[in-house]
């Protein structure tokens, strides 16, 4: 082999090596580019997933807040409704007591719920609903308890009326006692005398519990 042929072979080998090097470099570059794209896609997927998770967490948080607010509104509404019903009950009962006292003065022994229902004492009432039939009764709101009345004795026989208000919620119980602390001559709460004849209400004895309280109001 002469010198010129040897030089030609070396040049061809160098060119072939250069081509192979370029091909391998391009392949490696493409592979690296694909890996970079794959990594970027994974990162975007993770970010999107994280964003969705964050949105769901935030949505759940707001749902909890909304639920708590709804509960608070319902509790407040229930409390206000009970207070309104109790106030209405005391207003209507005052009317019935006044009319009964005037109509039956000196004849309290003749007073009964059936007689008062027959007299029309409970017409157009909203907190006291009278039913007629074989046995007349009056249902109260709040609580759904019953109103009864009978002649009672404070100083002499049949000189007063005992109005019994049953099944009252605790909040209504204390409100009723407060409303009648001046006008009632005697008050019992669940059988305990909280106001004696000629005295005042003893707050330490007013024990309303179980949302099923019975209040006795003695009026003369």
> Mean pLDDT throughout 51-56?
61
CB 168 within 8 A of CB 143: yes
Interior CA angle at 124 toward 171 and 174, to 5°?
Answer: 15
Question: What average pLDDT does range 66-76 have in this prediction?
Answer: 50
pLDDT score of 139 more than 90 = yes
Residue 112 located in a structural domain: yes
More confident residue, 181 or 45: 181
| Cα–Cα distance, 46 to 39 (Å, whole number) | 11
The total of structural domains in the chain comes to 1
- Region 144-166: mean pLDDT is 98
In the predicted structure, residue 16 carries a pLDDT above the cut 80: no
State the residue for tokens 């059936």: 114
What rounded mean pLDDT belongs to the chain?
Answer: 80
> Which CATH number belongs to the domain containing residue 153 in this structure?
3.30.1690.10
Please tell me the predicted confidence (pLDDT) of residue 21: 42
What pLDDT shows up at residue 191? 98
69 in any annotated domain: no
The percentage of residues in the chain with a pLDDT greater than 70, rounded to a whole number, is 63
Is 88 within the bounds of a domain?
Answer: yes
Higher pLDDT, 10 or 95: 95
Task: Tell me the residue range of the domain where 94 lies.
Answer: 83-219
130 sits in the region (left: phi over 0; alpha: psi -120 to 50; else beta) called beta
The C-alpha atoms of residue 98 and residue 184 are separated, in whole angstroms, by 12
Cα of 97 vs its chain's centroid, Å: 34
Which pLDDT score, from 0 to 100, does residue 132 have? 78
Question: Does 155 reside within a domain?
Answer: yes
Percent helix, strand and coil across the chain, each rounded to 5? 55, 20, 25
- Say whether pLDDT at 3 is over 60: no
Contacts of residue 186, defined as CB under 8 A and 6 or more positions apart, other chains included, come to 154, 160, 193, 195, 196, 197, 216, 217, 218
Q: Would you say residue 107 lies in a domain?
A: yes
Q: Are the C-beta atoms of residues 116 and 123 closer than 8 Å to each other?
A: no
């Amino acid at each position: 082999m002469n010198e010129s042929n040897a030089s030609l072979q070396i040049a061809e080998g160098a060119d072939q090596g250069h081509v192979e090097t370029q091909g391998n470099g391009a392949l490696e570059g493409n592979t690296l580019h694909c890996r970079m794209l794959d990594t970027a896609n994974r990162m975007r997927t993770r970010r999107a997933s994280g964003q969705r998770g964050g949105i769901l967490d935030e949505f759940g948080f707001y749902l909890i807040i909304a639920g708590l607010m709804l509960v608070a509104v319902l509790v407040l509404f229930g409390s206000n409704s009970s207070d309104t019903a109790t106030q209405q009950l005391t207003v209507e009962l005052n009317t019935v007591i006044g009319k009964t006292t005037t109509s039956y003065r000196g004849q309290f022994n003749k007073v009964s719920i059936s007689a008062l229902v027959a007299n029309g004492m409970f017409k157009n009432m909203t907190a006291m609903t009278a039913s007629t039939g074989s046995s007349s009764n009056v249902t109260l709101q709040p609580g759904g308890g019953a109103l009864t009345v009978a002649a009672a004795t404070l100083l002499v026989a049949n000189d007063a009326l005992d109005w019994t208000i049953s099944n009252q919620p605790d909040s209504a119980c204390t409100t009723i006692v407060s409303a009648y602390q001046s006008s009632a001559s005697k008050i019992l709460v669940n059988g305990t005398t909280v106001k004696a004849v000629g005295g005042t209400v003893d707050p330490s004895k007013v024990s309303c519990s179980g949302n099923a309280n019975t209040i006795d109001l003695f009026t003369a």
